[in-house]
Amino acid sequence: MVFRESYKSWHRLLKGTVLSGVMALLAQGMATPPAQAEVNRFCQLSQADVDSKEALRVAGLQGDAAAQRQYEALRQQHSAEVQDCRRSRWPENQAIWLRLYPCDLQPGQLDALMDRIVNLGYNQVYIEAFSNGQVLLPKNNNPTVWPSVVQFDEYADRDLLAEAIASAHQRGLKAYAWMFTLNFGYSYGQRTDRRQVLARNGSGLDTLDYADTGNSGTSEEAFIDPYNRQAQSDYSQMVQAVIARKPDGALYDYVRYPRLTGAASVVSDVRNLWIYGPASNQAMVQRANNGKGRELIQRFLRSGYITNTDVAQVDSLYPSEGEPLWQSRNPPAVDPKNLAPAADRRPGLQSELWRLSVAHAIQGVVDFLQAGATPARQAGLPTGAVFFPYGNRAIGSGFDSRLQHWNRFPSWMESHPMAYAVCGNASCIVEEVQRVLDVRRNPATVKPALAGTWGAAQQNRPSLEAQMDALQQSIPQLKTVSHFSFAWQDAEFERTRKSCRPAARSTDLESLRGGVLPESPDQSVVNLQ
């Protein structure tokens, strides 16, 4: 409750003008910053320290050179004290997810933004660099196929990502570049030279068609076929441009297929898998190791099943071959003349073809992630994959439609599970994180993301304090925890940043939105690696 009351105090204090505040400070003879700032157990600065720094920042921005010098000294001091606090408090690293807007290029705006992140006790910031079909690169220096986030002509040469990273570094914040992965965005799907790159199902619909019908995600989503070379090339070019801005790490989000709704949220029919794009379809057929295997794969993809007649016909087409063979299938060698009847073999072959198809879809995601993360790894940067802990679960004879099998992501990548479960307390959140730790083992590489706000529970979701306390008590070996998102901590400030209005004075908390999918035991599928 102490921090919540601090927010209320902040709101009251900021109702006066900032300029009058700094004049009062100077009138009191404040020539140097205080010896030491106050921090609470979450390494958050006291309201008095926050107000002093903000008043000096605004006065310096208005031309007061003395105030500017004092602000810079106080900013450095606060940054150092938060860093010292993080070294002695749990967790060692506390990160915040951040979206930037064109208005953040206004004078002083990045300073105000990064100051607030430090004020809340964070020492890392995850900056959204590629999302919703836009990239955070200068309009006049954007080598990618995506439009720039900043379209204002007056800012056409400004590099918001590079400037934000520099501003974060000034305050001792590590700045990661956060990028969507398979979700290339609506703008990409609208390009006539890229529509064929999108993932496609057995009904002939691509992921943008499906989103437009309201059956998955939002209309802003367009997921690509991970086997498509054009998609791989476009993504690699974007990642390299982002990495050139020298972030401290790279995070990969949307490492999955669309989350479908209703009955379609469980995929149990091969025709509902996103493996019917030309590239994925061809790669699937190429997994065959003999003529029988190739023919059965093609028939299975076409019809969604195989019949006794299919098996018998394939035997006749390739009389010199024994069992149908494909990657991961290694039955005992058998004389073609001694094969069991087609009716006896068909059920097993169909079951194996289904598991092969699911594994093929999953492998496309894994391979695309690994390729996309390679430029950052080669640059010596830590990389991390963002995922839902239950995105890899099986449900009956089917699987979660996202096919987010994070357990197969490269072992050299960090794991950033989105522990967003809602159950009225933090127990289900802890369970989600523990599920990942049971697989990944090394707690230094498991860095859960929590959703929520400081000082208040929202929609049956505990406050961040409650979630953090539960994690510390249950899994104290964790070294890094992140919070989604900065927008939820300071809703009014977020609105002013979007609209280019004067800096916000209010810190009223915005209502949260969230949910969790039903849980189900996992089950393995064929491993194609």
Does pLDDT of 517 surpass 70?
no
Q: Among 1-10, 113-122, 438-447, where is mean pLDDT lowest?
A: 1-10
In 3D, which of 123, 129, 154 has the Cα closest to residue 139?
154
Q: What is the pLDDT of residues 371-382, one digit of tens each?
A: 999 999 999 999
Does pLDDT of 407 surpass 50?
yes
Give the pLDDT confidence score for residue 361 in this predicted structure: 98
- Please state the pTM of the whole predicted model: 0.90
Q: How far apart are CA 284 and CA 301, in angstroms?
A: 9
Q: How far apart are CA 268 and CA 266, in angstroms?
A: 6
Percent of the chain whose predicted confidence (pLDDT) is above 70: 87
In 3D, which of 331, 268, 270, 325 has the Cα closest to residue 295?
325
Structure tokens at 33: 């910053």
Give the pLDDT confidence score for residue 4 in this predicted structure: 36
Q: What is the pLDDT of residues 457-486, one digit of tens each?
A: 988 999 999 999 999 999 999 999 999 999
Angle between helices 65-88 and 18-27 (to 10 degrees): 90
Q: Give the ranges where 28-99 is alpha helix by DSSP (H).
A: 47-61, 65-88
**Beta partners for 124?**
95, 174
AA identity, residue 165: I
Collect all residues with Cβ–Cβ distance below 8 Å to 182 and sequence separation of at least 6. 199, 223, 224, 226, 254, 255, 256, 257, 365, 368
Give the pLDDT confidence score for residue 501 in this predicted structure: 79
Domains in the chain: ranges and CATH: 2-266+375-499 (3.20.20.80), 278-358 (no CATH)
AA identity, residue 324: P
Q: What is the pLDDT of residues 14-45, one digit of tens each?
A: 333 344 444 444 444 444 545 588 899 999 99
Rounded to an integer, the average pLDDT of 403-428 is 97
Q: How far apart are CA 419 and CA 517, in angstroms?
A: 11
Structure tokens at 353: 């073809």
Give the pLDDT confidence score for residue 337 in this predicted structure: 94
Angle between helices 427-440 and 464-474 (to 10 degrees): 40
Collect all residues with Cβ–Cβ distance below 8 Å to 61 and sequence separation of at least 6. 68, 107, 108
Q: What is the mean pLDDT of the chain?
A: 89
Say how many C-beta atoms besides its own lie within 10 A of residue 491's C-beta.
Answer: 16
Cβ pair 509, 383 in contact under 8 A: no
Q: What is the pLDDT of residues 323-345, one digit of tens each?
A: 999 999 999 999 999 999 999 99
Q: What is the pLDDT of residues 187-218, one digit of tens each?
A: 999 999 999 999 999 999 999 988 766 665 56
In 3D, which of 389, 360, 363, 246 has the Cα closest to residue 297?
360
Percent of the chain whose predicted confidence (pLDDT) is above 90: 83
- The CA–CA distances, whole Å, from 69 to 7, 9, 57, 74, 116 equal 27, 27, 9, 9, 19
